[in-house]
Amino acid sequence: MGKVLLVVLDGASFHLLKEFKDDLRSFSTIIKEGIWGNLKSVFPSITPVALAALFSGKEPEHNGITGPKIFIKNKPLYKPLSAFSSTSLIDEPIWVYLSKKGYKTIVLSSPQSLPDKWKMNNLILFDPYKSKMKGCDQGFLIKDGDNMIMEKNWKLSIGDNKGILRYPGEEGEEEIILQKYVWSDPIKIKTVCKRKELIGVTKALLKENYVYVLPPGFKNEEWSNDKNIEEDVWNNVSLKNGMILDGDYHGLSNGLINLKEYMETVNFAFSFFSNYSLYILKKYEWDFAITYLPLIDNLQHLLYGIDNEEAKESVKKGYSLSDDFISYHMNLGDNIVICSDHGISKVQKRVYINKLLEKINLLKLNEDRIDWKHTKAFYGGGGIIRVNLMNRERYGIVNKKEFPKLIRYIMRNLEMLEDPENHVRIFTSIYANEMPADDRKGDIAIMGVSKGYSLSSVIGNTDIIESVIPYRTSTADHGYYKAEDMEGIILMQGKNFRKGQSINCRIIDVAPTISKIFNVDMRVDGRVLTEALIQGI
């Protein structure tokens, strides 16, 4: 059977790979010598939902990950379960099935890999995104003089074409000389986040009259189930390469860095994920492993909706970096499976559902925070609107008699919502429950959105519908169009796969096909892609 490596390329879109493939060496090789085709995602085609379907082989309603926020009876509306946690899964992913049969398994990134609730000796789990801590997960400015950042003092002195930055290091104040417009090497810092003193790593850039510091990654003992291996990776990967996990969208959106500098942060993320993945996969034993790269999705969200050559070439850069990533991993196993979680669609405007609920007096704000004692309905993302119902939600305020009337009121406003500039109706399909929804479901589910519009759960916006701003906000999205955003990619090559074939499949077919190579049966909604496997497997 041999070793199997699953490479997940977040957001890789079938129609764009078709356009770019002739310029991508590794992709082209697999297309000619292996199997490739269109991979249909699940609805909504958003990353945590789609990846749960990929790894479990089950539809969202059967694996439990139905949206970014998962509403459960007897929990407050403001404290749903998170899709970015293993605790939300109600089914076993492929790594559990294989580990139970004695196969050594490594997961390098998954929204539902941690915390480790399975506790198996032959299972190594990582999620580097858990090195980012809420409230301390964005970059920050250092101005000339003293600056208090995360309860520590940073001091900057700017001279001609260089600056001296004094920052809180592990053993006290440390100093680095920065050249103007040149990123520093990784900086090891000591700071306070959530009242806890932590060691972190970041990079800094001296601009004209300030230093911009990238979002730090922290050594918080939360991003692996094996503390010894986490320590090894921290010392030999994170501190050497930095721990930049995505292109710094917030820095660009806030005007703190320009597009060229943003693309440099994309390269930093590529450096981290490449070195991180190769270090672990070459050093530690495995039969099955999952690795991951987020950069196509980063670049498509930001730039795919901008119709100029610079933006197109930047999007193509994401596919080129992914092609390099594949080339680095091609010979690590006997079989390689490459897939994405979803595709991408262009958008011109964003629709803020919670602003609509606010304007129809169902969601109340108090100084830009939701006043849950007076909020009757909330949009949590994933197309799900949930009513704050008594005896279902803890602290619910809507009684059961009011529920049907409230649902009709929300539905009427959703159905009537149109873009005032062109009179396009925003929603193409909406479903409402006649009775209060069960766990993990919405009382109202938005099942379709008009082309060119994106949904947001953000609060505090001025208008319900806002135009996107090129190079400042997302110009492309996925999740609700049931079009190109549902069309990901699948490529397979190795001793257990046929050669020179095209295939169309669903994201829920990948896990059972891989498990079949190991002669392990999974309980799934998908099927084994027998047409892709060499006879006898």
Give the pLDDT confidence of 138-147 residue by residue, as tens digits. 999 999 999 9
Q: At what angle do helices 259-283 and 309-329 cross, to 10 degrees?
A: 10
Tell which residue, 493, 140, 189, has the closest CA to residue 334: 493
The Cα 70–Cα 64 span in angstroms is 8
Residue 515 CB neighbour total at 10 angstroms: 22
Residue 54 half-sphere exposure, CB side, CA atoms within 13 Å? 30
- Please name each of the domains of the chain with its CATH number: 4-129+273-342+486-532 (3.40.720.10), 140-213 (no CATH), 349-467 (no CATH)
Structure tokens at 30: 């697999």
| pLDDT class of 536 with cuts at 50, 70, 90 | low
> How many residues make up the chain in this entry?
537
Q: For residue 112, what pLDDT is reported?
A: 98
Average pLDDT, the chain: 96
**Neighbour-count burial of 130, counting CB atoms closer than 10 A to its CB (0-12 exposed, 13-18 middle, 19+ buried):** buried
| DSSP H or E stretch at residue 164 | strand 162-169
138 Cβ neighbours under 8 A, 6+ residues apart: 215, 250
Q: How large is the greatest C-alpha to C-alpha distance in the chain, in angstroms?
A: 71
Considering only 47-56, 388-397, 458-467, which range has the smallest mean pLDDT? Answer: 458-467
Structure tokens at 411: 């539905």
Q: What is the pLDDT of residues 187-213, one digit of tens each?
A: 999 999 988 999 999 999 999 999 999
Tell which residue, 8, 9, 13, 32, has the closest CA to residue 22: 32
The Cα 436–Cα 191 span in angstroms is 46
Amino acid at 305: G
- pLDDT of 259 > 60? The answer is yes
Considering only 79-83, 159-163, 494-498, which range has the smallest mean pLDDT? Answer: 159-163
Query: pTM of the prediction?
Result: 0.96
Q: For residue 405, what pLDDT is reported?
A: 96
| pLDDT class of 364 with cuts at 50, 70, 90 | very high
The Cα 113–Cα 125 span in angstroms is 6
Q: What is the pLDDT of residues 78-120, one digit of tens each?
A: 999 999 999 999 999 999 999 999 999 999 999 999 999 999 9
Structure tokens at 418: 């149109």
Q: What is the pLDDT of residues 372-406, one digit of tens each?
A: 999 999 999 999 999 999 999 999 999 999 999 99
Helices within 84-144 (DSSP H only): 94-100
| pLDDT class of 507 with cuts at 50, 70, 90 | very high
Q: Which residues pair with 337 in a beta bridge?
A: 6, 492
